[in-house]
Amino acid sequence: MCSASLGINVVLITGGSSGLGEALARQFYNAGCRVILASRRLDELNRVRSNIMKNSKLVPFQNVYPPVVLKLDLADLQNVPSFADEAWKIYHRIDILVNNAGISYRGEVMTTNLEIDLKLMIVNYIGHTALTKCLLSAMVEQGNGHIVVISSVQGKLGIPFRSAYSASKHALEGFFDTLRAEVADYNVKVTVVSPGYIRTNLSVNALTGDGRVYGLTDPTTANGMSPNYAASEILESVAAEDEEVVIAGFGAKTAILLRALWPSMYFKIMNSRARRGRPNLLNKAKEQ
Ligand SMILES: NC(=O)c1ccc[n+]([C@@H]2O[C@H](COP(=O)([O-])OP(=O)(O)OC[C@H]3O[C@@H](n4cnc5c(N)ncnc54)[C@H](OP(=O)(O)O)[C@@H]3O)[C@@H](O)[C@H]2O)c1
Ligand SMILES: *[C@@H]1O[C@H](CO)[C@@H](O)[C@H](O)[C@H]1NC(C)=O
């Protein structure tokens, strides 16, 4: 870990109350950064905050900046500018913005309410676009900035029964690839991160086509990498100022290559995956 190069940067992390965001918060804190954590559940953010401080090897005089927690609902776009203002005013700068918050989805296009497509698009994509726009000119003025975007392998390829999620992650990658070029001359960096499965509550918290909470941990998620592993890879990529990074195993990386080089084969494989996955999905929906 290049903690020296991450230094005392101010890091704002959305979705800092659990999973990957929680692991990122801990690791940025332990690297000496001043962290600000934001999400909807203040009680969970406070739990993360005290855990981080309790378990940190840093002694207080090395890091005199305990994590700060702020309430943020990305679905509430009107409140994003005042949130950004509040976050910026804590240290009068934000060096690293980690757009991490997100929700997942399980369902079939044919039976999914449009509100769900909208919800995923707003929380996973537009909310972070709005927040980034609010902080961009301050970053340009302060002469540096780093925007880290947590996408997914599903931001690079679509898989069955994940339409709204995959769409929102594709949108993120398109938007932030464009932004990277536009702000390169202002010393603002953009790192797009595409992880494979991580062992978090993302699948439990996923929304179904009718807006219910999915409530189950899928085997793919249960067998995923640890949030700590993903977070340490992300910190390395941030320190190295990588433009993008895919944090995934051989299977997912091969799928991305196949999608690019032999799309017809990739689509055939997805067709059979949909055929095999449909009964499973319908059973789980019935169990609920
Ligand atoms: N787990 C995986 O397999 C995987 C794979 C690839 C990419 N990712 C990405 O990693 C990121 C973190 O997810 P995770 O796996 O750590 O899942 P998680 O444990 O469910 O965490 C999601 C985080 O997002 C926050 N959030 C949800 N809705 C929000 C809203 N409307 N406004 C503000 N914050 C909101 C949640 O906090 P509150 O509930 O307190 O608001 C929570 O902190 C997501 O972008 C996800 O797409 C995950
Ligand atoms: C998932 O959520 C439950 C209930 O909030 C919590 O006890 C558990 O630690 C979470 N699991 C992970 C992997 O974050």
Say if 214 falls within a structural domain. Answer: yes
Tokens of 82: 């005042």
Answer whether 60's CB lies under 8 Å from 27's CB: no
Say if 195 falls within a structural domain. Answer: yes
Say if 242 falls within a structural domain. Answer: yes
Answer whether 88's CB lies under 8 Å from 94's CB: yes
Specify the 3-state DSSP secondary structure of 200.
Answer: coil
Say if 14 falls within a structural domain. Answer: yes
How many CB atoms within 10 Å of residue 217?
16
Query: Which of 42, 151, 198 to mutate to test ligand 1, by most ligand atoms within 8 A of the CB atom?
Result: 198
How far CA 76 is from CA of 11, 22, 71, 123, in Å, comes to 22, 22, 11, 9
Specify the 3-state DSSP secondary structure of 144.
Answer: coil
- Could you give the number of structural domains in the chain? 1
CATH of residue 65's domain is 3.40.50.720
Query: Which of 201, 218, 221, 225 to mutate to test ligand 2, by most ligand atoms within 8 A of the CB atom?
Result: 201
- Which structural domain range is residue 129 located in? 3-250
Question: From ligand 1's centre to the CA of 141, what distance in Å?
Answer: 30
Closest atom of ligand 2 to 227 CA is: 13
Catalytic option among 29, 105, 125, 165: 165
Ligand 2 pocket residues where CB is under 6 Å: 18-19, 199-201
Active site residue 65: no
Q: What is the pTM of this model?
A: 0.96
Q: Which pLDDT tens digits describe the chain residue by residue (288 residues)?
A: 334 467 689 999 999 999 999 999 999 999 999 999 999 999 999 999 999 999 888 776 666 799 999 999 999 999 999 999 999 999 999 999 999 999 999 999 999 999 999 999 999 999 999 999 999 999 999 999 999 999 999 999 999 999 999 999 999 999 999 999 999 999 999 999 999 999 999 999 999 999 999 999 999 999 999 999 999 999 999 999 999 999 999 999 999 999 999 999 999 999 999 999 887 776 776 665
Specify the 3-state DSSP secondary structure of 158.
Answer: coil
Say if 272 falls within a structural domain. Answer: no
